[in-house]
Amino acid sequence: MSDQVHEHRHFIPAMGQQRLLPVYDFTGWLAGVPRMHRTLLDSAAITPGLAVLEIGCGTGNLIIRAARQHPGATLTGLDPDRIALANAGRKVARRGLAVRLDVGYADALPYPDGSQDRELSSLMFHHLDEAGKDGALREALRVLRPGGELHLLDFTGGGHGPMPERIRAGADDRIPDRLRSLGFADVARTAEVRARWGFGTCSIFRGVRSA
């Protein structure tokens, strides 16, 4: 794991509280997260040779799925949570996969301009505050190469049934507007995935960095 961020900043961990991290994978499985990950990877249409970054990779399940499906891609996962990243690192090593894992924050990505072909974000966006959301999208755009694509999966606002209050508070109906106003092209909602057990409904949004 490469650790390029030395400052400590506040962030909301995977289950809202660090002590619940050990049950994240099981809770996610109950809620149907593996199906969401499959749909997100279908949307992203990764091909061999592409550089793929997951922003907010947590315990690594999505980036590991991407590595298994697309061993010819260059895969990186980033998250501020060192404990979650250590968990991801153990899984990567156990499976003998090539995935780089970096400590970092969505609004200060430690990568050069135009260095990624695909960016994935799964269930991370609702962890950010207003400024953090726009900061994250600005950084995502900077790091994409012209023609590169961001595929972002998260909860949108009301009308999607019950969901935990912490998630409802971060759910955002303005994701497509934010993408457009920050300069993404070809913005679209490419899929909707309903979670199980009252966790609400997620949408997948695509934004492209124009050439």
Ligand X SMILES: C[S@@+](CC[C@H](N)C(=O)[O-])C[C@H]1O[C@@H](n2cnc3c(N)ncnc32)[C@H](O)[C@@H]1O
Q: Residue numbers of the site for ligand X (CB under 6 A)?
A: 11-14, 28, 33, 55-58, 61-62, 79-81, 84, 105-106, 122-124, 127-128, 132
Q: How far is the CB of 211 from ligand X (least distance, A)?
A: 27
Q: How far is the CB of 127 from ligand X (least distance, A)?
A: 4
Q: How far is the CB of 20 from ligand X (least distance, A)?
A: 11
Comparing CB distances to ligand X, the nearer of 124 and 204 is 124
Compute CA distances 130 → 42, 150, 169, 170, 206, whole Å: 29, 19, 11, 9, 20
Tokens 């040779």 sit on residue = 49
Q: Name the residue with the smallest CB distance to ligand X.
A: 58
Number of H helices, E strands in the chain: 7, 8
What token pair was written down for 158?
């009301």
Q: How far is the CB of 37 from ligand X (least distance, A)?
A: 6
Alpha helices in 116-162 (DSSP H): 130-143
Comparing CB distances to ligand X, the nearer of 58 and 207 is 58
Report d(CA 183, CA 196) in Å as an integer.
34
Comparing CB distances to ligand X, the nearer of 105 and 184 is 105
Beta strands in 72-195 (DSSP E): 74-79, 99-103, 116-122, 144-155, 185-194
At 33 the three-state DSSP class reads helix
Report d(CA 42, CA 97) in Å as an integer.
20
Comparing CB distances to ligand X, the nearer of 14 and 187 is 14
Q: How far is the CB of 24 from ligand X (least distance, A)?
A: 7
Tokens 């315990």 sit on residue = 59
Comparing CB distances to ligand X, the nearer of 81 and 119 is 81
Tokens 């991290």 sit on residue = 21
Compute CA distances 104 → 2, 51, 116, 129, whole Å: 10, 18, 16, 16
Q: How far is the CB of 85 from ligand X (least distance, A)?
A: 8
Comparing CB distances to ligand X, the nearer of 130 and 186 is 130
